[in-house]
Chain A
Amino acid sequence: DAMVIQNPRYQVTQFGKPVTLSCSQTLNHNVMYWYQQKSSQAPKLLFHYYDKDFNNEADTPDNFQSRRPNTSFCFLDIRSPGLGDAAMYLCATSALTSGRGETQYFGPGTRLLVL
């Protein structure tokens, strides 16, 4: 089945210790997104790739970086995690067809805990 996969599902890291979250997709979608979702809040877009073009949201901290080495994979790097970065991180993909807000398909998420 075509899907969006995230690894790991749960990640525990120490304050200030870099961490990388991964996302892969078999949908062959050209747009990939990273969201941060804190408890009882809406998903907050951090950045997205349209093919290889990287688009950062204006309020995304510099502490967050991303890489997309190919169509299928995308990584979220948190360079120096703080306690406030503990959250669920969601990866999503969409196929850009009309540019009118395409349906996004979400992975199961990675829950990050910062000690």
Chain B
Amino acid sequence: NAGVTQTPKFQVLKTGQSMTLQCAQDMNHEYMSWYRQDPGMGLRLIHYSVGAGITDQGEVPNGYNVSRSTTEDFPLRLLSAAPSQTSVYFCASRRGPTYNSPLHFGNGTRLTVT
């Protein structure tokens, strides 16, 4: 039972490069989301999706794009990386946006932008 799988675990980018962080879940969860975690800031919501074909912005969406073509996958794209995007990124899913249900997290991607 894999749960939420994130790849890669580590990534170093140069300023201006682009990349995609992958996230997949095998629990048939409707809701998927991306958070970034920075020291002293807790987790901040970047983008979320309540189902295939539907995405919306969280509190820190600038510099990131998402799409949700399938229930299982929710990739996060950085179009032009900046040092301010150095962070640990977590993908999380849950059963549905209106249920009293917990989030299931992946183990994170540690991104460094130089």
- Asked if A and B bind, the verdict is no
**Chain B interfacial positions (CB closer than 8 Å to A):** none
